[in-house]
Amino acid sequence: MPARRAGCRGSAFVIKRRPVALFYLAEAMYGGWVTALAHARESLIRCGFPVHVYRVGAKTEGKERMFGELFPYMNVSLRTAEQLCHASDTFIMATDPKHWGEAEALVAHGAAVVFHDPTELRPESRAVLARANRVVVFRRSNERLLADLGPRISFVPMPYVPGLTRAPAKREYHAIAYSRLDFDKNTDVILRANLVLPQRARVRIFGAENRMYTHHKLDADFAGWRSLYGGTYPRQPGAGEYMAGMALYGVDMSTIAGDGGGTQLTTLEAWAACTVPVVAERWLGLPESELVDEVNCIGVSGGAMLADVLMRRMEPERHRALLAAGQHALAAHGPRPFTEALLP
């Protein structure tokens, strides 16, 4: 492979023209995996790289399809996918349990693996990660989690390209939550806050439902919660950032055992939209944490504390400082920092 340095349009860096293949080995058509892939693709394109997204199917098709309204992709056979690994810098951007066999085959041909969080760590996935020449992580906590794999673990800032959509005309809500409604998202914490908040300060909720969670937890414990539920939102470029821009506060109560400290896409979307991220306190405080309470986000420990934060009137100076710190942190996730870390 020829030596090169990655750069972006308008920079003085030499741009490598070897193509980049991004494989999506999962069934989910929405959520963080898909959004991260969209931002990774856009970042690489803005830095001058020819990029193609692939899914592995029964046969190689002759034309691209559209993944919602996000990006084009092509279905290819496993044999074609293996050949692409030798002709491109290849990254497996996401893998669900049904597809670790395909991931293992691509890893054998040199593909790198992107590891998102500890929920992906299973016996079959660990075996594939152990064989990969390189494992990319987006948070330092996961770098430590996989430390036993040795120097093949590399931290890359989660990619984010701001401004893919127009900002909303006004901030319609005081606070908004715009991720999945699920056990790990702790949507019930938000609903506990809504129980005591006045109408003007309640959190408006959007996102796809885990029906088991909403039926057994939310419907059972919070009658009438759907009055503040706006359903899903379109799978379009920049949709999360647009949603964040509809409110002063972007609320995400996610917790993942053994993870935290670094950014999630909802945090990046809030920063890009000049919205203050409110996150679970358990997500903060880890070594080398990128999110710092009262600096670039606000941490809360439960529904009562969340309600208290949303009820208080924030001083304009403090609000401006939080937004400025968020914008500063966001810059580290732009196309050039991401590309230079991914393709050193």
CA 306/CA 280 separation, integer angstroms? 9
Tokens of 317: 């100076």
pLDDT at 200 over 50: yes
Domains 20-159 and 173-332 are alike in CATH topology: yes
- 160 or 289: which leads in pLDDT: 160
Enumerate the H helices of the chain as residue ranges: 32-46, 78-87, 100-107, 123-131, 140-145, 187-196, 211-213, 220-221, 239-244, 265-272, 303-311, 316-330, 335-342
CA 26/CA 31 separation, integer angstroms? 11
The confidence band for 245, taking pLDDT boundaries of 50, 70 and 90, is very high
CATH classification of 173-332 is 3.30.9.10, yes or no? no
Mean pLDDT of the residues in the chain: 93
What's the pLDDT at 17?
67
What's the pLDDT at 281?
95
Relative to beta strand 203-205, strand 173-177 is: parallel
Q: Which of 162, 22, 25 is nearest to 90 (CA)?
A: 22
CA 191/CA 202 separation, integer angstroms? 9
Please write the tens of the pLDDT for every residue from 320-335.
999 999 999 999 999 9
Q: Nearest 5 degrees, angle CA 178-CA 24-CA 117? A: 55
**3: which residues sit within 8 A by CB, 6+ positions away?**
none
Tokens of 339: 């590309």
Domain 20-159: CATH architecture, name and number where available: 3-Layer(aba) Sandwich (3.40)
| pLDDT, average across residues 288-296 | 93
CA 344/CA 331 separation, integer angstroms? 18
| pLDDT, average across residues 336-344 | 95
The 3-state DSSP class for residue 218 equals helix
Contact 139, 262 (CB under 8 A): yes
The confidence band for 287, taking pLDDT boundaries of 50, 70 and 90, is confident
Contact 128, 103 (CB under 8 A): yes
Listed ranges 44-48, 120-124, 164-168; the one with the highest mean pLDDT: 44-48
- Tell me how crowded residue 20 is: count the other CB atoms within 10 A of its CB: 22
In the chain, domain spans: 20-159, 173-332
Residue type, 245: G
Alpha-carbon dihedral angle through residues 177, 180, 182, 183, given to the nearest 10 degrees: -70
| pLDDT, average across residues 143-172 | 93
What's the pLDDT at 13?
47
What's the pLDDT at 12?
45
| pLDDT, average across residues 165-169 | 92
pLDDT at 39 over 90: yes
Please write the tens of the pLDDT for every residue from 215-243.
999 999 999 999 999 999 988 899 999 99
- Cα of first residue to Cα of last residue in the chain, in angstroms, is 12
What's the pLDDT at 278?
98
Please write the tens of the pLDDT for every residue from 5-25.
444 654 444 455 689 999 999
What's the pLDDT at 8?
62
